[in-house]
């Protein structure tokens, strides 16, 4: 039976950073977004409020900014190698993130079968962000279920990779999980834990697990 590998983005594929922080850095607004990341991590604001506030910060955002943010982000090593190996093995890989869809979607070019993020309007913005399209921890499970149906697998065939509270729900419904550079709260829920800068090493922990 094929497996579905589900990857978080912020703090997982991106080491010590998030897509919104990397985007904001291009606009000179990094500190403002770091503060928002801290607020949402502490549960002080909801994902829809976070999305609305970064959307407001990004009034001057262009596709050139997004491309520069993506290319310059602190990615873990060998992401494309891992996804190529997953495909070679006949398995599936997908990214499910609360970050903006226009950033997350770029990872399909690296080999992800699917990449889902919070639904933002096209860049440059001419309309507001719709709170109904903003993902949450619970939404990650719903998307995982849809992907299972699409790829012909079940939750029992899934492996989840994450680093924070937004991954708790998903870790709770799949049999195999990897806490990547996570704090002890999430690591305690995971079947495996990895600290480092190379996704291949994290993948090796579950490469043969069934």
Q: What is the pLDDT of residue 1?
A: 85
Mean pLDDT of 31-54: 94
Q: What is the pLDDT of residue 144?
A: 98
Q: List the one residue out of 168, 117, 109 whose CA is nearest residue 138.
A: 168
Tokens of 165: 């509270």
Tokens of 203: 């993948």
Decide which of 210 and 173 is more confident: 173
Q: What is the dihedral of CA 101, 160, 90, 151, to 10 degrees?
A: -60
Mean pLDDT of 58-62: 97
Q: Is the pLDDT of residue 73 over 70?
A: yes
* Secondary structure letter of residue 9 according to DSSP: I
pLDDT tens string 104-161: 999 999 999 999 999 999 999 999 999 999 999 999 999 999 999 999 999 999 999 9
Q: What is the pLDDT of residue 120?
A: 97
Q: What is the pLDDT of residue 210?
A: 60
* Secondary structure letter of residue 77 according to DSSP: B
Note if the bond before 124 is cis, omega within 30 degrees: yes
pLDDT tens string 82-103: 999 999 999 999 999 999 999 9
Q: How far is CA 49 from the centre of its chain?
A: 18
Mean pLDDT of 37-43: 90
């Amino acid at each position: 039976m094929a497996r579905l590998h589900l990857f978080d983005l912020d703090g997982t594929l991106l080491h010590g950073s998030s897509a919104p922080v990397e985007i904001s850095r291009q606009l000179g607004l990094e500190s403002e977004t770091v503060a928002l990341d801290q607020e949402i991590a502490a549960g002080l604001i909801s994902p829809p409020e976070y999305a609305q506030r970064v959307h407001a910060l990004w009034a001057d955002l262009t596709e050139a900014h997004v491309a520069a943010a993506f290319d310059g982000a602190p990615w873990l090593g060998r992401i494309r190698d891992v996804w190529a190996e997953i495909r070679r093995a006949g398995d599936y890989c997908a990214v499910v993130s609360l970050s903006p869809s226009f950033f997350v979607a770029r990872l399909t070019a690296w080999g992800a079968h699917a990449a889902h993020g919070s639904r933002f309007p096209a860049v440059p913005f001419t309309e507001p962000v719709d709170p109904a399209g903003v993902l949450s921890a619970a939404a990650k499970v719903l998307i995982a279920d849809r992907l299972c149906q699409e790829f012909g697998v079940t939750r029992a065939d899934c492996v989840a990779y994450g680093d924070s509270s937004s991954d708790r729900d998903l870790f709770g419904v799949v049999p195999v999980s990897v806490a990547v550079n996570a704090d002890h709260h999430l690591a305690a829920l995971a079947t495996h834990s990895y600290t480092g800068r190379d996704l291949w090493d994290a993948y090796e922990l579950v490469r043969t697990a069934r």
